[in-house]
């Protein structure tokens, strides 16, 4: 197990049934060598007794902003300075709203305001509460204030609902703490990524698109963020929440995606073209809905700009990674694109068989570069994304090293 020796974690617990998971988190943190102090809000104490956390952490639990005994041992400002990381898990909807507004009406909220150290929150609430626009706006604004958002997960909830809102499991939160204290392989890297489909209008009602769900691109964004990258995600229309920490740029057409990418590509270190961009668009989209008037309808299609090839032709340019979704001769077409577009890497996959690729939660890839290749076996898109990002980080580091030697 990776060590957290000499790391000081201040764990805040708010009211919610997920509070019981935090006991296991304290155990994991201490087992890894971290020093842990626990702060509980009044509502949290209605779910789990403070004595539990006192026994696990080996230290008294901080409960009250005006606790004279606690202040004599370590006042709240000193406690805020003491930690290397302040993690609130679970973080209720009420707490997130107050935190975003700058409230300081309990000890934990005061510590969040007073701490100069990074603050992370692990949201936990009913799926409908999480989906509420007020909660989403609070989360968006907290992310803009550099608060780390860990979760939530999707699944069955205590109330019986199923959806996004579950707090991450203790092991997942522990892994996030490890990642936080261990700079990722893409730390400091500006990564630009496209995901999802594009839509090319036929008229105000109809459009040309494809079967991309965006799941692979969004998984790549999350994996890159975990490795420390600063991620800008240019996404076509999808039914997915933006990965926590990503700068999401929502677009619809191929031209809109092209414009968004070209505006940001020159300042990026790595560009991953994962979106399924429409190759063609209607030459002249109708201003009004086209009425059914004959047995056939002819549309003139014209070629869209090739986003990946355009970025690859920039000088200087980012490290360019392409995707090739093919129904046949996967290796042949992938290697052709790698050479024709002068890419650094290309990830190719077979689509259309229903087992991986479009509209599924699984994928498998054959990854090629100029003098090598690597296979990523059939797995969840999250796992495939983790492996691909590791590989991209490795090849990017090699390319950067070669450039440094040449200069």
> Any idea where the domains of the chain sit in the sequence?
8-181, 190-406
* Residues 323, 337 contacting (CB under 8 angstroms): no
* Residues 224, 274 contacting (CB under 8 angstroms): no
| Average pLDDT score over residue span 83-87 | 95
Highest mean pLDDT pick, 62-76, 179-193, 227-241, 355-369: 227-241
Highest mean pLDDT pick, 131-140, 141-150, 182-191, 304-313: 304-313
152: which strand partners? none
Domain 8-181 is in which class?
alpha beta
| Radius of gyration over every alpha carbon of the chain, rounded to an integer in angstroms | 24
Burial (CB count <10 Å: 0-12, 13-18, 19+), residue 390: middle
Min mean pLDDT across 71-75, 98-102, 378-382 is at 71-75
pLDDT tens sequence across 207-236: 999 989 999 999 999 999 889 899 999 999
How confident is the model at residue 151, as a pLDDT? 83
Collapse the DSSP code of 300 into the 3-class scheme (helix H, G, I; strand E, B; otherwise coil) and give the result. coil
| Average pLDDT score over residue span 146-171 | 82
pLDDT at 240 over 60: yes
Q: Do domains 8-181 and 190-406 have the same CATH topology?
A: yes
Check if CATH label 3.40.50.10300 holds for domain 190-406: yes
pLDDT at 70 over 60: no
pLDDT tens sequence across 164-175: 888 999 998 998
Which residues are catalytically annotated? Answer: 159
| Average pLDDT score over residue span 338-357 | 83
pLDDT at 402 over 80: no
* Reported confidence tier of residue 156, pLDDT bands at 50, 70, 90: confident
pLDDT tens sequence across 275-300: 999 999 999 999 999 998 888 989 99
For 58-100, give the DSSP string: SSPPB--TT-HHHHHHS-HHHHHHH-SEEEEEEE-HHHHHHHH
pLDDT at 333 over 80: yes
How confident is the model at residue 226, as a pLDDT? 83
């Amino acid at each position: 197990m990776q060590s957290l020796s000499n790391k000081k974690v201040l764990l805040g617990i708010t009211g919610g049934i997920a509070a019981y998971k935090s006991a296991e988190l304290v155990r994991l943190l201490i087992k890894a060598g971290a020093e842990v102090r626990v702060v509980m809000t009044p509502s949290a104490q209605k779910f789990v007794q403070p004595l539990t956390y006192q026994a696990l952490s080996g230290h008294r639990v901080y409960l009250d902003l005006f606790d004279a005994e606690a202040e004599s041992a370590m006042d709240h400002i000193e406690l805020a300075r003491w930690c290397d990381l302040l993690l609130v898990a679970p973080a209720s909807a009420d707490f997130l709203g107050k935190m975003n507004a700058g409230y300081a009406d309990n000890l934990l909220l005061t510590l969040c305001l007073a701490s100069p150290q990074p603050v992370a929150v692990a949201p936990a609430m009913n799926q409908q509460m999480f989906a509420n626009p007020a909660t989403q706006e609070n989360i968006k604004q907290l992310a803009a204030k550099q608060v780390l958002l860990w979760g939530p997960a999707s699944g069955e909830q205590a109330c019986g609902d199923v959806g996004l809102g579950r707090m991450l499991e203790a092991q997942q939160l522990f892994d996030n703490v490890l990642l936080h204290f261990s700079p990722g392989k893409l730390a400091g890297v500006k990564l630009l990524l496209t995901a999802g489909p594009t839509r090319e209008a036929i008229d105000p009602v109809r459009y040309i698109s494809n079967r991309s769900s965006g799941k692979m691109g969004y998984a790549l964004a999350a994996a890159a963020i975990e490795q420390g990258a600063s991620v800008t995600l240019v996404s076509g229309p999808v039914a997915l929440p933006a990965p926590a920490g990503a700068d999401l740029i929502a677009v619809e057409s191929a031209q809109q995606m092209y414009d968004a990418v070209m505006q940001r590509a020159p300042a990026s270190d790595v560009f991953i073209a994962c979106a399924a961009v429409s190759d063609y668009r209607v030459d002249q989209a109708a201003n009004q809905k086209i009425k059914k008037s004959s047995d056939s309808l002819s549309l003139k299609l014209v070629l869209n700009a090739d986003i990946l090839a355009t970025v690859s032709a920039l000088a200087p340019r980012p490290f360019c990674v392409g995707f090739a979704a093919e129904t046949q001769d996967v290796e042949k077409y992938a290697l052709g694109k790698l050479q024709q577009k002068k890419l650094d890497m290309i990830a190719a996959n077979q689509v259309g068989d229903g087992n991986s690729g479009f509209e599924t939660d699984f994928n498998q890839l054959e990854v090629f570069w100029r003098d090598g290749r690597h296979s990523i076996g059939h797995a969840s898109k999250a796992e495939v994304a983790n492996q691909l990002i590791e590989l991209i980080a490795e090849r990017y580091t090699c390319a950067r090293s070669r450039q440094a030697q040449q200069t």
